[in-house]
Amino acid sequence: MTVAETREFDPGLFLAEGDLPSDTVTPDLLILNQPIASFDVFARLWRHTIYQICADGGANRLYDMFEGALELRRGDFLPDAIHGDLDSLRDDVRAYYTSRGVDVSQDLDQYSTDFGKAMQKIFSRDSPSPQREVIVLGTLAGRVDQGLGLLHELIREESRHPDLQLWLFSESNVSFILKATHNIIQNTLSNRLFTRNVGLLPIYGPAVITTTGLEWDVKDWETQMGHQVSTSNHTVAEEVHVQTNAPILFTIERAVLATGAKPAQRR
């Protein structure tokens, strides 16, 4: 994804009905212990990932999503692994997935979160490419401390692994970190997978940014929490360009996804 001084992002690829382009790194999927807001979004993300892992109680969320009308489809969405300290994993959920061959493993390290433990599990696997992409299925709603903690873990993991790209798919947005370089967010309008609502948040420290493709573009603009920030901005072009001298969080709102996602194929 990195080309010289420019980093390109196309978050709509993971929500498209078709296959990923052949030159795209196939991501892994990390399911956190947080509500899964949309089955249709979930099914498309699952289809576009090569390895699916639940962080401890994330397995409860996956299992419970298939109550009622979706129950017959539970067996079509078996994760490759469930990993964490396992203090949240219910006995009935563990028994179900274990009986179907899912790898359930425990890490009792009290100095790392289930998110961090799951990321270690992902990196323990061989990869054909040095570039790693991980889709994180979580939420920024609910407890404020947990939402901020999740944003902290995004920057921590990307700082530890320079070739890692994390995508946070929360209840209504896609969020990812723009690093200190020229960043291009592609296909923001034509695929109709997103609304025009975006935000550029300097939650990791002060930054100076220059943008094009937004309704309210800025040039050499100092942004800092507690001072001035570009929230509630709007896309007006197919590409949004952001030059920044420090990491910032970019978030774009998802449009309502058409129903009818294709069934997943178990690899």
- In tens, the pLDDT along 127-145 reads 878 899 999 999 887 788 8
The string of DSSP letters for 195-264 reads: EEEEEEE-TTS-EEEEEESBTT--SSEEE-TTS--EEEEEB-SS-EEEEESS-EEEEEEEPPPPS-PPPP
Written as six digits, the tokens of 148 are 């901020």
Cβ neighbours, 10 Å, residue 57: 21
pTM for the predicted model, two decimal places = 0.92
Cβ neighbours, 10 Å, residue 10: 16
Place 22 in a pLDDT band, splitting at 50, 70 and 90.
confident
3-state class of 71 per DSSP?
A: helix
3-state class of 128 per DSSP?
A: coil
- Judged by phi (left if over 0) then psi (alpha if -120 to 50, else beta), residue 260 lies in left
**Continuous H helices in the chain:** 39-47, 58-64, 91-99, 114-123, 144-160
Mean pLDDT of the chain: 92
* Res. 224: pLDDT tops 50: yes
Close Cβ partners of 99 (under 8 Å, ≥ 6 residues apart): none
Start-to-end C-alpha separation, the chain: 25
Q: In percent, how much of the chain has pLDDT > 90?
A: 80
Q: Among 39-48, 135-144, 198-207, 232-241, whose mean pLDDT is lowest? A: 135-144
**Residue with token string 């509500």:** 35
Place 11 in a pLDDT band, splitting at 50, 70 and 90.
very high
Average pLDDT over residues 21-44: 93
* Measured CA distances, 121 to 83, 90, 92 (Å): 8, 21, 23
Set out the domains of the chain in order of their start, with CATH numbers: 26-171 (3.40.50.10240), 173-257 (2.60.120.320)
- Whether residue 110 contacts residue 75, with contact meaning beta carbons closer than 8 Å, is answered with no
